[in-house]
């Protein structure tokens, strides 16, 4: 689907610059049909999906493209990348940091034995599919299968399971309920972080009413199962809107704005959030709240950093002034001696270049205040490192990326539990450990001792691993992750264990050579294309040998 959208951008841009789209009102239908025809000819999806997604994206995309005044090469570079064209529209920009000197940095020390710890439940990427149907085909021509219109498989092993399916399938509601039932029993929880992506991946056939219904259903289920005394701090995913990834900055008003979504979120999340938090949520989809004395949470709308958010073609310079607002919040927390946790959906290393690098500056400046970063989006169990900018050798932060609830693609369902330094005077509020729990679909869909087609009635979510035990670490501070990165380079068995756990215990092949290099590069930096800029300015390829040498030198 993403390939199709990128191709569509190229076609739309070319048509615009060559004068085919000289009048929005008269040529809108013609452009949509031309792009749909191209999608079909390129075999990017079947005809129904091509026509539906073109129709869904048409109005918003053309309006944003016209207002952006992009040349074709710029539009192509914006959504496809530098291999396609130059994207000057995303030229570098800088946020303003206060002139207050950065306080001296004190390396973290482990808490005293017996010190309180807080347990945080972390949910992300639920992707509930209302059309999921057990017994349907897990192999279909559409981008999403295991649905009522997916047909039926020719052999049983490729049919949708009762609790979920390995493949390009999302989850039935019963699995989400089962997760919440088990999570409630595994409590109590001090609080919950929930970083979005509620709807399924049928992005070609979604409506605002459907998105709002799914928002309400899942929000109320979380409230019901976890109870009224557990506070949930949500963040917005890229799938909450329709069209997907479409999040206009606040300067876009009227029906094209995101007010339809933010207002509904404010209503559903009002039992959890303060009046002031709801105010900024309604404006831009982000907020801050005091969790308890000494600890604050900041929930960012990471769609304002996303390359796929085509509204940023109009203006990508700190959309909604969110990063400048973040600096203000962090400075106030530093002044008061508060610690801050940041939650968001898209990890910072996957953001637009200038946004990502500005965020990196902020993490560097406020490293003593920011004691946790928590993200989702990739569906995998991984992390991104932050180092001091002067030398890029001293580890100072970790962006934890938790695994998805959904199976999409070819995964077990999962959720995360974080253990952080707890509520006492002088607490660091740093992450000490984390656990990943999964629902083993092979077992859940075929109960032990039952006929092959009989699923378990109430499957249990089991501990896959605890990080400190799995990797032999004493804690999960940035320095510990730095040593873990060294181990990945020097000991392939440790890396292959990470690769297995990264996919929630369901992976069929080892990750070697170029695969391993790519993964190490992604883990190494929370800055977009950092390694390419710093380490291989004249080359598009970093070999495995070069990567090993590089990491050996830089991670010492």
Which residues line the annotated binding site for Zn(2+)?
125, 127, 197, 238, 345, 377, 379
The helix/strand/coil state of 295 is strand
Both tokens of 516, joined, read 């391993």
Contacts of 442 (CB under 8 A, 6+ apart): none
Could you write out the DSSP letters of every residue in 185-241? Answer: HT---SEEEE----B-S-TTS--HHHHHHHHHHHHHHHHHHH-TTS-EEE---TTSS
Beta strands in 411-486 (DSSP E): 414-421, 431-438, 462-466
Sheet holding 295-299, edge to edge: 287-292, 295-299, 339-343, 370-375, 395-401, 382-387
Both tokens of 271, joined, read 């039992």
Which residue in this structure is represented by tokens 């600096």? 327
Cβ neighbours around 48 below 10 Å, total: 14
Question: Is residue 305 within 8 Å of 352, Cβ to Cβ?
Answer: yes
Both tokens of 176, joined, read 């989400």
Torsion of CA 180, 181, 187, 190, to 10 degrees: 30
The helix/strand/coil state of 500 is helix
The helix/strand/coil state of 41 is helix
- Measured distance CA(394)–CA(386) in Å, rounded: 9
- Detail the residues annotated as belonging to a binding site: 125, 127, 197, 238, 345, 377, 379
Cβ neighbours around 171 below 10 Å, total: 27
């Amino acid at each position: 689907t993403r390939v199709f959208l990128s191709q569509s951008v190229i076609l739309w841009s070319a048509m615009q610059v060559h004068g085919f789209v000289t009048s929005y009102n008269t040529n809108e239908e013609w452009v949509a049909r031309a792009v749909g025809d191209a999608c079909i000819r390129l075999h990017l999806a079947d005809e129904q999906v091509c026509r539906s997604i073109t129709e869904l994206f048409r109005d918003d995309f053309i309006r944003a493209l016209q207002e952006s005044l992009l040349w074709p090469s710029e539009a192509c570079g914006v959504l496809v990348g530098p291999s396609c064209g130059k994207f000057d529209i995303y030229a570098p920009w800088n946020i303003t940091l206060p002139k207050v000197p950065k306080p001296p940095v004190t390396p973290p020390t482990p808490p005293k034995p017996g010190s309180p710890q807080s347990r945080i439940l972390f949910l992300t990427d639920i992707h509930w599919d209302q059309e999921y149907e057990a017994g349907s085909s897990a192999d279909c021509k559409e981008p999403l299968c295991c649905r009522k219109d997916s047909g039926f498989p020719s052999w049983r092993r490729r049919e949708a399971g009762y609790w979920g399916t390995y493949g390009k399938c999302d989850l039935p509601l019963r699995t989400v309920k089962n997760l919440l039932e088990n999570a409630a029993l595994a409590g109590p929880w001090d609080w919950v972080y929930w970083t979005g992506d509620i709807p399924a991946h049928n992005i070609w056939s979604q409506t605002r009413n459907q998105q709002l219904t799914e928002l309400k259903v899942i929000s109320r289920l979380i409230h019901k199962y976890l109870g009224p005394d557990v506070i949930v701090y949500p963040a917005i995913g890229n799938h909450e809107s329709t069209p997907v990834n479409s999040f206009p900055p606040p300067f876009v008003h009227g029906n094209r704005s995101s007010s339809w979504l933010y207002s509904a979120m404010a209503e559903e999340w009002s039992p959890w959030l303060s009046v002031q938090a709801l105010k900024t949520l309604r404006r831009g989809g982000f907020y801050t709240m005091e969790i308890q004395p000494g600890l604050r949470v900041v929930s960012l709308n990471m769609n304002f950093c996303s390359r796929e958010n085509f509204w940023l073609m109009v203006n990508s310079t700190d959309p909604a002034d969110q990063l400048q607002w973040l600096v203000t919040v962090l400075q106030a927390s530093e002044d008061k001696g508060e610690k801050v946790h940041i939650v968001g959906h898209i990890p910072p290393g996957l953001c637009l270049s200038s946004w990502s690098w500005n965020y990196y500056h902020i993490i560097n400046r406020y490293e003593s205040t920011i004691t946790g970063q928590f993200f989702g989006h990739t569906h995998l169990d991984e992390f991104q490192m932050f180092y001091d900018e002067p030398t890029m050798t001293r580890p100072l932060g970790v962006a934890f990326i938790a695994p998805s609830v959904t199976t999409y693609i070819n995964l077990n369902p999962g959720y995360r539990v974080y253990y952080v330094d707890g509520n006492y005077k002088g607490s660091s509020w740093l992450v000490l450990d984390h656990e990943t729990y999964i629902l083993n679909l092979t077992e859940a869909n075929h109960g032990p001792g039952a006929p092959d087609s009989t699923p378990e009635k109430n499957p249990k979510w089991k501990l896959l691993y605890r990080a400190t035990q799995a990797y032999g670490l004493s804690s999960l501070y940035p320095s510990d992750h730095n040593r873990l990165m060294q181990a990945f380079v020097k000991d392939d068995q440790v890396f292959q264990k990470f690769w297995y756990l990264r996919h929630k215990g369901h992976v069929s092949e080892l990750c070697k050579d170029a695969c391993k290099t790519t993964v190490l590069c992604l883990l190494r930096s929370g800055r977009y294309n950092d390694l390419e800029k710093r380490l291989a300015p004249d080359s598009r390829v970093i070999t495995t040998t070069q990567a090993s040498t590089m990491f050996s030198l830089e991670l010492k």
